[in-house]
Amino acid sequence: MTKNSATQKNRAALLCRLLRRFYDKDWVSGTGGGICAATGPKTVLMAPTGVHKEEVRPSDLFVVDRMTGGVIRPPRNRSLAVSECNPIFCLIMTQRKVGSVMHSHALSAVLAADLSEDRDHFIIEGLEMLKGVRGVSNQAKHAVPVIRNTPRERELVDQIRRALEAPVFSESFCILVRNHGAYIWGEDLWEAKRHAEIYHFLFEAVVARSRRGRNGWGQI
Amino acid sequence: MTKNSATQKNRAALLCRLLRRFYDKDWVSGTGGGICAATGPKTVLMAPTGVHKEEVRPSDLFVVDRMTGGVIRPPRNRSLAVSECNPIFCLIMTQRKVGSVMHSHALSAVLAADLSEDRDHFIIEGLEMLKGVRGVSNQAKHAVPVIRNTPRERELVDQIRRALEAPVFSESFCILVRNHGAYIWGEDLWEAKRHAEIYHFLFEAVVARSRRGRNGWGQI
Amino acid sequence: MTKNSATQKNRAALLCRLLRRFYDKDWVSGTGGGICAATGPKTVLMAPTGVHKEEVRPSDLFVVDRMTGGVIRPPRNRSLAVSECNPIFCLIMTQRKVGSVMHSHALSAVLAADLSEDRDHFIIEGLEMLKGVRGVSNQAKHAVPVIRNTPRERELVDQIRRALEAPVFSESFCILVRNHGAYIWGEDLWEAKRHAEIYHFLFEAVVARSRRGRNGWGQI
Amino acid sequence: MTKNSATQKNRAALLCRLLRRFYDKDWVSGTGGGICAATGPKTVLMAPTGVHKEEVRPSDLFVVDRMTGGVIRPPRNRSLAVSECNPIFCLIMTQRKVGSVMHSHALSAVLAADLSEDRDHFIIEGLEMLKGVRGVSNQAKHAVPVIRNTPRERELVDQIRRALEAPVFSESFCILVRNHGAYIWGEDLWEAKRHAEIYHFLFEAVVARSRRGRNGWGQI
């Protein structure tokens, strides 16, 4: 086994392990959500669409071209199709130069996006856990973009590109999709996992505080 | 071992595994709730009544005639009686031409039914997770029937038949029973499990949004 | 190994398994709460006091005289002392002729008792899960006694005796202790476990409904 | 293996086991939080900073000088740095003569601190679980200090020293840090774990009761 294939094998096992953990947290239930992981500058592992995420095995994963989203190696089971998130995952990895993106269908993400009402973002502040986002201090007013949902996942691409390009959101490793969930990323699987835990904590915190009429979110 | 008996054995093991998972989610606690799975056009596996669902083993399952509900093969342990849901499970499988039905006693199902007040349904809208219901888009106003509870489970049959026959509920894979829980189905165990995760998410979402006075449910 | 000692060994293992499960449900955290199980007409297994309940092993259990509460056989580890609940467990087993009692420190039990305000009971109604209590229908107005907390656990005994003797509470398998938790019992470990799951569901349901101003609890 | 190294090995394994449990309870998610354990009068085991706490293995731990906080033995993996909590852990162990301190990033700790508004403490009363804090009765008005958050963890030291020295807080085994979490300690790992479970229960209880306008917290 070459070093590359060993790395790819380990990464595939870790990706599946994180999917099971995300399932246990109710972030990827009902076959929703997912995660991808780069295995080199040009290749990325991606789960199939429409499968129970906690049941995904390494042999179910696709190897996808990180630039084009084209399938380089499908899994043995030819009835599987690659994740609907494919173009979004590739866009975020390219634009933000990161190696892993997760997609959450958590209720806390939906309820946090609800708090933004008709604005294109919301601000998180006054929480130590902000320090868990790379480069962010606990004194920050952290702006997270919120975009509208669309009938098909791939139709989110234009709004996501604009959010990624907006200087005001340059510190965010997360995009909230109204009525839907969130995309959260990091340099590798472990940072994406840490950011996922941090942002979901922040969502739950702002939702809980808003119930008490406390200002933990707002406008830029 | 013939192919049929191998399939039946696998399905029995999966059915028990899903019961344990449903227990962990608090959907079948206190011996309540359950799930069934067709093993052929005429036969269906069903758990016993009044047992701790997370403790059910494949050898505890009944094989039941899908049309009549009659017991074809009881489990070795002759003190067990077949699920009280038997006639409801058979009715739903026949009317909707599906192979698996689960019955949930989740609190979120009870609280969601509370929101319908005295109407015979409620509408779920504005949530991506609606796409997890086969044939439903995230733009849908998805109507879920709500029926009254009765002293005995089998007395629900007439209301369930009417709900299944009502054209307005033709897209629903779920019937809510006020003060009680929900019946949720799918073409096989995996779709029933996906639909169960989706509908419970939708219940939790509408309950959480109703606390904020937000309109995530309504009238047809 | 005689049949009796085999039974006692199995029961001890089950008792420890249920303690771990109760811990996972946050009913016996911080060394609080517990469960006992009769092993014969005169003997009962009881956990030590002040230990982490999810860590209890069969060899840590006391064998106690069911009538007097006297220790018949202490565990090998002589630094252990028997559960503070000992006199309460024995009183309930004797008065109600049951073989198992569990003691919960669940937050939902405390919040449910809060709803009773200054009355000596509260009524649960309009919930299918009432059928999980032996002998109770889903049409019942189920009266659960609520007693005042005392500085020491054993000082609860008089109030518990009065609650057990009150005809109005004859259908209840539960006593709520204000600011404290609940005692819940059944004919054996399995029924005590089922009743524990049922009553905790009922507590959570009435607390959730009371947030919406709905009447799911009241006066006799 | 000498007795001391055997003890240290067992303690390291237990420390890692408790970190996994705290992670499962959402107290140390996103690499936040932690726990330390003395292994003798002069030495203490401490986890690295910035790592996923549920993944920490015994071989990842630092041995630190309990008085000075200096690293006595780093882990084999030289890319690891010792916990940011190091000076705070050492201060609390020295001042309170205890052998273990845990640091929680639980949402319930943040929401409990919110309830103190601009006071330097809050009072917990009317809960049996207070008896789980060593030396505290269920009749106590238990005062827990609440301090302000600072940009860096080590800048909390002065406020923590004052809270530890204040006679009014002498019964508390917990300091709440506004917008951040809590430090909780005990004589050893097991007491720190029990106190952590007790205080988190108390946080959840006062937050739930405050939603109902009930007075479960207040001023000295």
**pLDDT at residue C65 greater than cutoff 70:** yes
Q: How far does the CA of residue C189 sit from the closest CA of chain B (Å)?
A: 12
D211/C211 Cβ within 8 A: yes
Record the tokens describing residue A174, joined without a space: 């997360």
Q: Is B46 contained in some domain?
A: yes
Q: Kindly determine whether residue C129 and residue B177, on different chains, have CB atoms separated by under 8 Å.
A: no
Note the pLDDT tens digit of each residue in D144-198: 999 999 999 999 999 999 999 999 999 999 999 999 999 999 999 999 999 999 9
Q: Tell me, yes or no, whether B218 lies in a domain.
A: no
Query: For residue C220, what pLDDT band results from cuts at 50, 70 and 90?
Result: very low
Q: pLDDT band for C131, please (50, 70, 90 cuts).
A: very high
* Contact by Cβ (8 Å): A205, A216: yes
- For residue B180, give the nearest of C128, C197, C211 by CB distance: C128
pLDDT at A10 over 90: yes
Q: Report whether pLDDT(A109) > 50.
A: yes
Residue C202 lies in a domain: yes
Do A and B make contact via 3 or more CB pairs under 8 A? The reply is: yes
pLDDT for B7 equals: 76
- Residue from C201, C202, C184 nearest C193 by CA: C184
Task: Measure CB to CB from residue D208 to each of C30, C107, C179 and give the nearest one.
Answer: C107
175-214 in chain B: CB under 8 A from chain C: 177, 179-181, 211
Tell me the per-residue pLDDT of D100-119, one tens digit each, with 9 for 90 and over: 999 999 999 999 999 998 99
CATH number at residue A13: 3.40.225.10
Contact between A107 and B209 using a beta-carbon 8 Å cutoff: no
**Tokens at residue D21, please?**
């449990």
Q: Which DSSP string corresponds to C11-55?
A: HHHHHHHHHHHHHHTTSSGGG--EEEEESSSSEEEEPBSSS-GGG
Provide, as residue numbers in chain C, all residues whose Cβ is less than 8 Å from the Cβ of D208.
Answer: 107, 111
CA distance D63 to A76: 48
Assess if residue A163 is contained within a domain: yes
- CB contact set of D170 (below 8 Å; sequence gap of 6+): none
Instruction: Write out pLDDT tens, residues D38-89.
Output: 999 999 999 999 999 999 999 999 999 999 999 999 999 999 999 999 999 9
Helix axes C3-24, C189-211, angle to 10 degrees: 20
Structure tokens at A201: 């904590």
Chain B residues with CB-CB distance to A107 below 8 A? 201, 204-205, 208
Q: Which of D56, D80, D88, D105 to mutate to test the interface with A (most CBs of A within 10 A)?
A: D105
- Residues C176, C144 contacting (CB under 8 angstroms): yes
Residue A198 lies in a domain: yes
Residue recorded with tokens 């720190």: D192
d(CA A135, nearest CA chain B) in Å: 31
Which string of b and e fits D186-210 if b means at least 16 CB within 10 Å?
bbebbbbbbbbbbbbbbbbbbbbbb
D29 and A CB contact within 8 Å: yes
Residues C53/C22, Cβ–Cβ less than 8 Å: yes
Structure token pair of residue A107: 């209720």
Run of H or E including B120: none
For residues A80 and A82, what is the distance between their CA atoms, to the nearest angstrom? Answer: 7
Question: Is the CB of A52 less than 8 angstroms away from the CB of B193?
Answer: yes
B118 is a domain residue: yes
The CA radius of gyration of chain A, in Å to the nearest whole number, is 17
> How many domains are there within chain C?
1
- Min Cα separation C198/chain B (Å): 5
Mean pLDDT of all residues belonging to chain C: 93
pTM: 0.96
Check if the beta carbon of residue A128 is closer than 8 Å to that of residue A216: no
Average pLDDT over residues C92-107: 98
Q: What ipTM was estimated for this complex?
A: 0.94
CA distance A175 to chain D (A): 18
Question: Angle D1-D5-D8 (CA atoms, 0-180°, nearest 5)?
Answer: 145
How far, in Å, CA of D47 to CA of D102, rounded?
11
A107 to chain B, closest Cα gap in Å:
7
The predicted-structure confidence for C166-217, as pLDDT tens digits, reads as follows: 999 999 999 999 999 999 999 999 999 999 999 999 999 999 999 876 544 4
Given a contact cutoff of 8 angstroms between Cβ atoms, the answer to whether A76 and A167 are in contact is no
Looking at chain A, the whole-number percentage of residues with pLDDT higher than 90 is 90
Tell whether C218 is covered by a domain.
no
B151 lies in some domain: yes
The Cα–Cα gap between C72 and C51 comes to: 20
Q: Using CB atoms, which residue from B29, B52, B111 is nearest to C201?
A: B29
Q: Residue C208: name the closest of A106, D208, A210 by CA.
A: D208
Rounded to 5 degrees, φ, ψ at A35 are -160, 150
The residue among D147, D180, D206 with the most chain A CBs within 10 A of its CB, best to mutate, is: D180
What is the rounded distance in angstroms from the CA atom of residue A25 to the CA atom of residue A47?
A: 18
pLDDT computed for residue A203 by the predictor: 98
By three-state DSSP, how is residue D211 classified? helix
Instruction: Enumerate the active-site residues of B.
Output: 128
Q: B84 lies in which domain range?
A: 3-211
CB of C30 less than 8 A from some CB of D: yes
Catalytic residues of D, which ones?
Answer: 128
Interface membership of A152 toward B (CB under 8 Å): no
- Kindly indicate the confidence band of residue D4, based on its pLDDT and cuts at 50, 70 and 90: low
**Please, are residues A150 and A156 in contact by the beta-carbon 8 Å criterion?**
yes
Is some CB atom of chain B closer than 8 A to the CB atom of A49? Answer: no
D131 phi and psi angles, rounded to 5 deg: -65, -15
pLDDT in tens, D79-95: 999 999 999 999 999 99
Interface test with C, best of D111, D129, D191 (most C CBs within 10 A): D129
* Contact assessment for residue B205 and residue B199, using Cβ atoms and an 8 Å cutoff: no
Q: Is the pLDDT of residue C1 over 50?
A: no
